[in-house]
A and B are shown apart, each in its own frame.
Chain A
């Protein structure tokens, strides 16, 4: 039965409908509990369904759907980050009295799109998934309707994102028009290296994806969109939708590596190095935490693209570790930002002042996350960078390795400013400090993931 393979996605779709329906009948006071409860339930079932399909490799629905271990890994990844995001946003939604059902349903809608994206090697299905992610993302970015920054974020994201979608679709039309097929394997199989139309088509397609990834020449929308969006959604943008796009890009590149002209590969390398460098350099000047994290995520996307440039099994293995750890550390930091924001301290770097004294747990965790993002042992971030570094040395790309190391050093500077704020500067915390169990749980999970990966990265490669 083919539908079994679609079970994770069906679960999500059913969950979304259930959340919307439940919201219409439940009393106003318990709407948030209902929506988030159903969201947790849905994602748990989703995780189980994805885990059950873990070892399966199968095509279904006339090639529209592909279930394979690579996709299933990311489905599990999405399930876990989704759960953490729900914990992250529960109090945020309550504090700002946002519409809870719409929030959760849109978030799950984005996850549905991401899940479709990673389980397809067919361009149209992938595109539908991508659009589902994009459309829900636009709405989520503009979710603080009273906040002009959030509206600006949504609008910018929407306009520029539509251009990206159009570019992507244009590229797909080139590939389809030239080969008469929408399946990556068939397209790649019927081509010989460096045909002009294919280069144009795949460049357009890649540009669309790189745009959604906010890789360097296409990154200008990202800081504004990420700054204005609600904080949990900013976290989602940096660990959720980008990863799904990355997987799609990976599938595309791995199929086309043989037929793409060498120039396209070097274009990719250029984008990767550009993202790293520009992201890190601009991050040096940021004072707003969300903007800082936006630029840092641009930089990290650069590292991840290196894996695709290399294209070796080692590089792909490194990618998994890198993505897992990066997501954990990012979610952790955003949990801390959400917490300081909920204490009415804003989202500047200075808002962290005295964090180590007031909330030692969060202070220490911040240290772990920052170490991981910089790549200092024994955290997982070190492992991710090390594996990537070794993969590039193995392919004799020494200069690339050096650039990566230099960038790591560069990033120390701005990450350190967060730590300095938290530990070596102090300020008065006026409001009575409230604990938040959900956020603490997220931070703890993130710390565990980061530390475990630091000593045993193999668990992310199973």
Chain B
């Protein structure tokens, strides 16, 4: 029992470290990539070379910021929302296979667990938006519902096709079943649908309507500041890394790869996917709300259903 607890604590610490690293590294990466794409330098001063200390300095700044809860806000929900956001992010890391034996817990129904837990994000966003009692926040939350709802289905259904091929919901077994071919080759439609839907679930450009800074200030977390805001931030980048990891696990062969050790392969792939997602941000314009729901319900959902049907035919007859 004690041993189990200690192990769990070590695993939690590792996940926490991974998340913190992601928040710091991915933000730095995002700024740098933005800089290069936009023909400028990005952070250069704090920490040389290339301002690598900048995001750590930002984290320290956030820690020292005043805790402001707006007078009109719904206090309890306002305080709870970051909690609802951050806990599922921890939980999502449990089923990510970093290597053949490097996983917090290989569950028999890992994939289903992953998407069940990731559904909490919507709740947190709605809580934050509603409790803030701010017009921008609520607009952000309202858009968030439509968006997260509309894109969760294609996401899940395209995963079902992968599960069909692998014959298992365990993330480890899915990775192992990709020893010869990664599923991106067998499941091109599924991969495309999943990738687009994942972008929407992550609220990344071109689907960042719920925090469109040019119209909604910051969307659902307008009223959040200091550490409370930092939790949203941490969760957001944690989710970005976790979703990239899921894309890698489901479609890109996970930790499989020649020569290099599995962990290195896995991290390389994750950050490659994360890089592509960041690249999108500085390339694509934001979609309109009507286009958003149209794309999700009228294109991605039917596409994922067709993909599922084709895959099931393939599994049964070939």
- Tell whether any CB of A sits under 8 Å from a CB of B in the complex: no
